[in-house]
């Protein structure tokens, strides 16, 4: 063995430290969320709270309509993921399975949108939506994301490997195109659709940028926005409340990750290939 190579034990200890580098900030967040204000400002800071104190969580509920934000965020993320799939299925079918003039162009247009991220679109989209008084509406949060180039691409790729004969048989049975797309092909693509749905849902559930520029109103504000506002409220350093809010914000994403790690990784890896 080379002198430079680490022994198994040293390597594992190093990797353990790496895991701690990622897990300790979470632990610090949870620990802080159970503290009281005097414990926060005391120096040196104790690593653990004196007891399980839920006052900070109470503080979050008092500072914002948490339930409302939670609902808004979920409705928005569900709406986006669902519309993206509903819109991408027929498009993916037309791009993968049918023969007609303009197919290459349509595919090119879809892929070209990967070049136009939200950061490029938000100024003109904001002025456009302001003109039709749609700022501060769920429409402004959902509709601009109705098409996902990534989703359309994934569905098209998956449909390429479905044999034509299955579609021809359905046509002979008299099925309409929509029936073929939603009734016959969609169930066959279930693994792809689940992976994409989870990916899109988590991505938009976490999104901060778009809701920040499109809303000013409690009625449609989303959770990441509300939690970030906790720190801006100018009530001094109420870190225990901010961290309690952060637990509420990160726990759902971590739970989805814990239970659907395989699907999410599938979507991430698919992005590369």
Partner 1 sequence: MNGLLPRHKRDPYWLLLPTVALLAVFFFYPLVDAVRLSLHEWDLLTEPRYVGLGNYRALIESGELWHALVTTLTFSVVVVAGSMLLGLGLALALNRDTAFAAFVRGAVFSAYVISWVSVALLWLWVLDSDAGALTAILRSVGLPTKNWLGDPNIALYSLAGVTIWKIAGYSMVLFLAGLQDIPRALYEAAALDGAGKFARFWNVTWPLLRPTTAFVATTSLIVSFQVFDVVRVMTQGGPVKSTTVFVYAIYEQVFLNLRVGRASALVVVFFGLLLVLTALQLYAWRKKGAT
> Of 153-192, which residues contact partner 1 (CB under 8 A)?
164, 167-168, 171, 177, 181
Binding segment toward partner 1, per CB under 8 A, in 50-58, 59-67, 125-133, 185-193: 125-133
CB burial class (10 A; 0-12, 13-18, 19+) of residue 12? exposed
Least distance between partner 1 and beta carbon 273 (Å): 8
Separation of first and last alpha carbons in the chain: 37
117 sits near partner 1 (criterion: CB under 8 A): yes
Is 52 or 115 the residue whose CB approaches partner 1 more closely?
Answer: 115
Rounded to a whole number of angstroms, the minimum distance from the CB of residue 7 to partner 1 is: 13
The enclosing H or E element of 203 equals helix 190-206
Of positions 55, 61, 134, 228, contacts partner 1 by CB under 8 A:
228
Sort 159 into a burial class: Cβ within 10 Å, 0-12 / 13-18 / 19+. buried
At 10, list the tokens: 């040293």
Helix (H/G/I), strand (E/B), else coil: 218: coil
Give the C-alpha distances (Å, rounded to integers) separating 198 from 6, 52, 82, 88, 193.
39, 33, 11, 15, 9
Tell me the longest C-alpha to C-alpha distance in the chain: 77
Segment interacting with partner 1 (CB under 8 A) among 53-61, 62-70, 102-110, 183-191: 102-110
Q: Which stretch binds partner 1 (CB under 8 A): 53-61, 74-82, 118-126, 183-191?
A: 118-126
Out of 72, 136, 152, 192, point to the residue binding partner 1 (CB under 8 A).
Answer: 152
Scanning 7-15, 52-60, 61-69, 183-191 for contacts with partner 1 by CB under 8 A, the matching segment is 7-15
Tell me how far, at minimum, the Cβ of 127 lies from partner 1, in Å.
7
Binding status of residue 206 toward partner 1 by CB under 8 A: yes
Using CA atoms, how far apart are residues 121 and 85, in angstroms rounded to an integer? 22
Tell me the three state secondary structure of residue 95: helix
Q: Which two tokens stand for residue 76?
A: 């928005």
Residue 120 Cβ vs partner 1, minimum distance, rounded to whole Å? 5
Cβ atoms of 170 and 82 within 8 Å: the answer is no
Among 2, 133, 172, 234, binds partner 1 (CB under 8 A): 2
Nearer to partner 1, 43 or 52 (CB): 43
Examine residue 109 and tell whether it contacts partner 1 (CB under 8 A): yes
Q: How near is the Cβ of 268 to partner 1 at its closest, in Å? A: 6
Residue 244's closest CA among 55, 65, 25, 41?
Answer: 55
For residues 10-39, which are near partner 1 according to CB under 8 A? 11-12, 14-16, 18-19, 21-26, 28-29, 32
Residues 39-98 that bind partner 1 (CB under 8 A): 40-45, 87-88, 90-91, 93-98
**Cα dist from 63 to 35, 94, 201, 227, whole Å:** 17, 49, 26, 10
The least CB distance from residue 192 to partner 1, in Å, is 17
CB of 62 to partner 1, least distance (A): 18
């Amino acid at each position: 063995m080379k002198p430079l190579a680490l022994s198994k034990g040293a390597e594992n200890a190093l990797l353990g430290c790496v895991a701690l580098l990622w897990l300790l900030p979470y632990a610090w967040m949870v620990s802080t969320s159970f503290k009281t204000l005097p414990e926060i400002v005391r120096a040196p800071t104790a690593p653990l709270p004196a007891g399980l104190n839920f006052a900070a969580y109470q503080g979050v509920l008092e500072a914002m309509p948490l339930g409302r934000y939670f609902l808004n965020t979920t409705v928005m993320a569900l709406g986006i993921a669902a519309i993206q799939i509903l819109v991408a299925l027929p498009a993916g079918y037309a791009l993968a399975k049918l023969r007609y003039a303009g197919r290459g162009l349509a595919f090119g247009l879809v892929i070209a949108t990967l070049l136009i991220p939200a950061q490029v679109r938000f100024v003109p989209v904001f002025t456009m939506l302001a003109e039709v008084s749609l700022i501060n509406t769920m429409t402004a949060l959902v509709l601009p994301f109705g098409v996902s180039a990534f989703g359309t691409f994934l569905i098209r790729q998956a449909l390429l490997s479905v044999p034509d004969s299955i579609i021809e048989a359905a046509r002979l049975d008299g099925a309409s195109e929509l029936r073929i797309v939603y009734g016959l092909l969609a169930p066959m693509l279930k693994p792809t659709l689940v992976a994409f749905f989870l990916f899109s849902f988590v991505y938009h559930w976490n999104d901060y940028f778009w809701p920040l520029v499109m809303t000013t109103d409690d009625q449609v504000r989303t959770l990441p926005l509300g939690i970030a506002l906790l720190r801006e409220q100018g009530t001094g350093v109420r870190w225990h409340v901010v961290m309690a809010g952060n637990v509420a914000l990160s726990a759902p994403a971590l739970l989805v990750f814990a239970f659907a790690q395989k699907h999410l990784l599938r979507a991430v890896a698919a992005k590369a290939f």
